[in-house]
Amino acid sequence: MSDSEATAAEAPEVSTPESQDASPAGTPDSSSEITPDTSTDVAPTRKARRRPEPKPAAEVEEKPKVEEQPTKTPSESTVSQGGWGYWGSWGKSILSTATATVATVGQGLTNVIEKAETSLGIPSPTELSAQVEEEEKELGESVHHTDLIFFICEADKVAADGSAAVGSAMGMLTSLTSVVQSTGKTVITGGLDALEFIGKKTMDVIAEGDPGFKKTKGLMIRNATLSQVLREAKEREELQTAETAESDSEKKVVAHYGMLFDEFQGLSHLEALEILSRDSESKVKSVLTTLSGEELVQLRDELELIKDAFSLVEFDDEEVDEKKDEDGSEFERELTEALEGLSVSATAEKLSKVLTPHFCVLDQIPVLQITDITNPEEEEGEEDAKKTLSVEEVHAAAIRSLAELTARSIELFHKLAEMILFSNGSTEASVLSQLTVVLCKEISLLSKKFTSCLTTAGSNEKGDVLNPLITGVFLEASNSASYIQDAFQLLMPILEISHIQRRSESTEQ
């Protein structure tokens, strides 16, 4: 296991140390050469602030073994869904790990490059970068968005009839379908890897830029709150599930991220956090309208400091090394550290309790890995699924863990918001951002662990079964990080109003 893990994590960096150190996936850098508004030194700041933007992607369904899907008409299945196109610097190395195929997308999905690499399906960053660059040059003006990268996953054979075959993973994508419309693609195959071994290309990485960060951000705000978007996704999954329930012909382990996220009460906590955030925001506004002159200027300046703290966060994925934290203790330590910095008194206990279930999730991972590695070797017959975990099961566990960790993180932020609001202590935004970084790193780590686990468990599987599952895990990991970062942003008005309250209390005394 550790071998393949190591390969998964290191392959991209090792292969091209000189040219792509800063950016394993190559996309953000290379694209910035084309679109001037995303120079590299500005990008990290922006990334941390950006809300995830739903982008359309081909709708995907979990049905690796079923070629036809009678319940859906082609027109239904081609409906594009918005993808959470958030891959900040956070996503870079994950991306390079995940990337079996790469695609760039313009105003329409005009080109797809697929590229695969040995054994783990990882293209070298140089290749990726070169292709992306090439593609973007070809696309010319049509490529407006540059530093957004997201996956569209689909299986070729299903792509024929317009529906695609990766998990409900993609169910999270929603609403802003008008931003990018899928119109076509060119597929180039390559590589000697597991993917080609099967002869199927299943993962497309869509690199997409973001010209008008403001524009898309505006779209986002106008259209939906995060919880609305997530709720819609969950509802769609439920509908899907309900439909599947009708035809009980296929009984499969299908992990629906949105439904699981809701099951862990992530949606509720997010909604409650949004309520508090909105209320605080309007309170801040009304306070500002009552002030004038120097008082107003001074308060504005103070609030600006808080805002700055929320925009300077950089989620650097470079350090995320799956070897570093085998048992989750590192995460626990970092988390404790981050929480210690919070001056919300007497609540540490409550908070660690919130996260306890997550540690349980983490604990399962080594177990999964061991099971996966030992059993397939012992048994000659691949068909015997009873004793080994099937790739679908590992995938389901991965999606479940991601959904749970994300839900718990949102819960943590919600609880923090409540405590900040009722306690008088001051809370440093930097501590909250550190917490966000720790959580996002954990998401990244989790996805890497699970995908290497998947790779091992699926060594006998066909690529068109395995690869969509792997893509699905990385996709949801990316989504998870977006949700966490969004929840973090929701804390800003709460810190602002807390600051104002403390301020007025001190002047009264």
Q: Which residues bind other proteins (CB under 8 A)?
A: 235, 237-239, 241-246, 251-254, 256, 259, 263, 265, 268-269, 271-272, 275-276, 279, 347, 350, 396, 414-415, 418-419, 421-422
Minimum CB–partner distance for residue 501 and other proteins (Å):
10
- Read off the tokens for 369: 């890995």
Closest distance to other proteins from the beta carbon of 168 (Å): 11
Q: Between residues 226 and 254, which has the closer beta carbon with respect to other proteins?
A: 254
* SS3 assignment, position 338: helix
User: Which CB sits closer to other proteins, 171 or 209?
Assistant: 171
* Residue 509 CB contacts under 8 Å (≥ 6 apart), including other chains: none
Residue 433: closest CA among 116, 36, 90: 90
Whichever of 245 and 378 has its CB closer to other proteins, that residue is 245
Rounded to whole angstroms, how far apart are CA atoms 442 and 331?
A: 7
The answer to whether 23 and 95 have CB atoms below 8 angstroms apart is: no
Q: Give 214 or 251: the residue with its C-beta nearer to other proteins.
A: 251
Which DSSP string do the residues of 23-36 spell out, in sequence order?
A: -SS-HHHHHHHHSG
Q: Is 235 exposed, middle or buried (0-12, 13-18, 19+ CB in 10 A)?
A: middle
Nearer to other proteins, 266 or 376 (CB): 266
Minimum CB separation from other proteins for residue 230, in Å? 13
Answer whether 98's CB lies under 8 Å from 471's CB: yes
For the bound state, the minimum distance from the C-beta of residue 111 to other proteins, rounded and expressed in Å, comes to 37
> Residue 327 CB: number of other CB atoms within 10 A?
12
Which residue type does 224 have?
Answer: A
Looking at the Cβ atoms of 142 and 423, the one nearer to other proteins is 423
**CA 448/CA 59 separation, integer angstroms:** 24
Rg of the chain, C-alpha, whole Å: 23
Q: Produce one character per residue of 405-414: b if its CB has 16 or more CB atoms within 10 Å, e if not.
A: bbbbbbbbbb
Smallest separation, CB 71 to other proteins (Å): 11
Q: How far is the CB of 237 from other proteins (least distance, A)?
A: 8
- Beta carbon nearer to other proteins, 51 or 415: 415
Shortest Cβ 410–other proteins spacing (Å): 11
